[in-house]
Amino acid sequence: MGKMENIIGQLYSRDSKRPIPYNYRKKLIAKSRNCSYITERCIEVPNTYNKIFASVWVNNDHVVVGTKCNRLLEINVQNGTKREIPLMRSPYPREIPEPAAGIHAIALNPSKSFMATGGHNVNDLALYSLPDYQPYAVGEFHHNWLFGISWINDFMLCTGARDGNICLWTIFDVEGFSTYEESCGIHRKTPIEILKTEGIVRIRDTHYNPVCERLGTVGYGVGKYDAKVCLVDVRQPLQKRVMDLPQKEENIVISGHDTSPVFAVGSLSHLMLIDDRDPNTTDITSVKVLEPAQGIRSLSFQGDVITIGACKTSLMFYDVRNRKYVNDHNDNPVKRCLKQGYVAENWDWHTHRYSFFPQLTSEIISIMTHCYDDSGLRLFAAGGPLPLDLIGNYASIWE
């Protein structure tokens, strides 16, 4: 550990004393009742793409998405044009797990000079330089599906995977942790630090909060309902807090407040707020999702308002400061349900349709990822049919 701590300390010292803060954008859509006036503009995605799991704005006009079928796609939200980004392969490929889980995470560093996501092997980390998506490095360590990616600052990032490990990586060349493969023009990297979270054997998502300098991870222990959250001090990785979550089912997403040490975790039926201001106490508040929402699949903070992506009731907005859902001009909670969405009408579709009471295919579409642009005026939302064995997709701009 001594060598690891020295490396981490040296890398931090190459920047400032504090990690580079994220760009605190204007909070416009989710302020007050503005979200009650947003409208949906659907973006057609070819039906060869199955379920959009991850998304990120790379500039004002383009969003990159990752799919269950393990593909990266750049979408021009202005004119709808698309291009596929080749997945990165290691020069010494490892066995690809079956079935492949797809790309569950895409993240940009604060200066938007690098994009991190999954590789051709769904266990690998892939780093692309922006704006031209040039392959830069492949990170090889995780031996199960990569679920979470969080940048600490411009040159360091963390990953969490189904193998229960949290890995800390750097884009810099570090002797013993980086090699350059001239034959394919990319770097091969191994983590500069590997953390095991006590009691968590499967990590489902990660989020770094630059305010408290903690990495939040959500996952499960040995049992199906052993849901836990772990908060890690990235400067002192041995300092970790592991907490049992009161809501046990389908805890698969975590996000953090922009300016305070508060995290949010989404479950099947509840939003959970975790206040990390006092390390000696455990303050977890559970808020029931609006009916008939079915499972929180994506979360994000804009100031004190959390945007929630789910199924059936597709978009909801929760005000952390006032501890209530954002209301419209009639004082009813703002709920947005999508109008369209593609689902392949095969045997599985006919089997599931009556379980989800649909008159429209959109009834079983879930918003599995969403992200705001830098202005806060446009929300990209995407996903697909919630049942695992159904094929389909959905993408839209809400503005």
How many Cα atoms occupy the beta-carbon half-sphere of 267 within 13 Å?
Answer: 22
Query: What is the structure's pLDDT at 89?
Result: 93
Phi-psi region of 354 (alpha: psi -120 to 50; beta: other; left: phi over 0): alpha
Phi, psi of 13 (to 5 degrees): -70, -15
- What's the start-to-end Cα distance of the chain, in Å? 48
Instruction: Say whether pLDDT at 130 is over 90.
Output: yes
d(CA 116, CA 150): 9
Report the DSSP beta bridge partners of residue 383.
Answer: 367, 394
- Of 371, 383, 341, which Cα lies nearest the Cα of 102? 383
pLDDT of residue 345: 75
Mean pLDDT over 233-243 rounds to 81
Q: Phi-psi bin for 341: left (phi > 0), alpha (psi -120 to 50), beta?
A: left
* Per-residue confidence band for 328, with pLDDT thresholds at 50, 70 and 90: confident
Q: What pTM did the predictor assign?
A: 0.91
Reduced to 3 states (helix: H, G, I; strand: E, B; else coil), residue 362 is: helix
CATH of domain 86-195: 2.130.10.10
Q: How confident is the model at residue 358 (pLDDT cuts 50, 70, 90)?
A: very low
113 vs 7, which has greater pLDDT? 113
List alpha helices for the chain, DSSP H: 2-13, 347-352
Mean of the per-residue pLDDT values of the chain:
88
Q: Using the CB atoms, write b or e for 181-220: b if 16+ within 10 Å.
A: eeeeebbbbebbbebebebbbbbbbbbbbbebbbbbbbbb
- DSSP bridge pairs for 270: 288
Whether pLDDT at 193 is above 50: yes
Confidence of residue 243 (pLDDT cuts 50, 70, 90): very high
**Residue 230: pLDDT band with limits 50, 70, 90:** very high
Highest average pLDDT, of 112-126, 191-205, 232-246, comes from 112-126
DSSP conformation class of 24: -
Q: In this model, does residue 26 exceed pLDDT 60?
A: no
Is pLDDT larger for residue 118 or for residue 32? 118
Q: Would you tell me how many other CB atoms lie within 10 Å of the CB of residue 86? A: 11
Give the per-residue pLDDT at 10: 62
**Considering the chain, what percentage of its residues have pLDDT values greater than 70?**
87
What percent of the chain clears pLDDT 90, i.e. is strictly above it?
A: 66
Tens of pLDDT, residues 265-278: 999 999 999 998 87
C-alpha angle 336/337/340, rounded to 5°? 135
The alpha-carbon radius of gyration of the chain (Å, integer) is: 20
Provide the pLDDT for residue 349.
62
Residue with tokens 């994220």: 22
Domains of the chain, residue spans = 86-195
What residues contact residue 3 under an 8 Å CB cut-off, 6+ apart?
none
Residue 367 contacts residue 315 (beta carbons within 8 Å): yes
Residue 277's nearest CA partner among 297, 295, 291, 256 is: 256
Q: What's the pLDDT at 356?
A: 52
pLDDT digits (tens, 9 = 90+) for 86-125: 999 999 988 887 777 899 999 999 999 999 999 999 999 9
The pLDDT tens digits for 277-295 are: 877 777 899 999 998 888 9
Query: Using CA atoms, how far apart are residues 39 and 338, in angstroms rounded to an integer?
Result: 10
Tell which wins on pLDDT, 324 or 360.
324
Give the per-residue pLDDT at 19.
44
Each residue of 173-184: pLDDT tens digit? 998 999 999 989
- Report residue 21 as tokens: 């803060």
Section 226-236 average pLDDT = 89
Res. 185: pLDDT tops 60: yes
d(CA 51, CA 66): 9
What is the structure's pLDDT at 388?
84
- pLDDT value, residue 312: 86
- Give the mean model confidence (pLDDT) for residues 322-329: 91
**pLDDT at position 239:** 75
Q: For residue 283, what pLDDT is reported?
A: 84
Distances (CA, A) of 276 to 212, 214, 313: 8, 9, 29
Phi-psi region of 176 (alpha: psi -120 to 50; beta: other; left: phi over 0): left
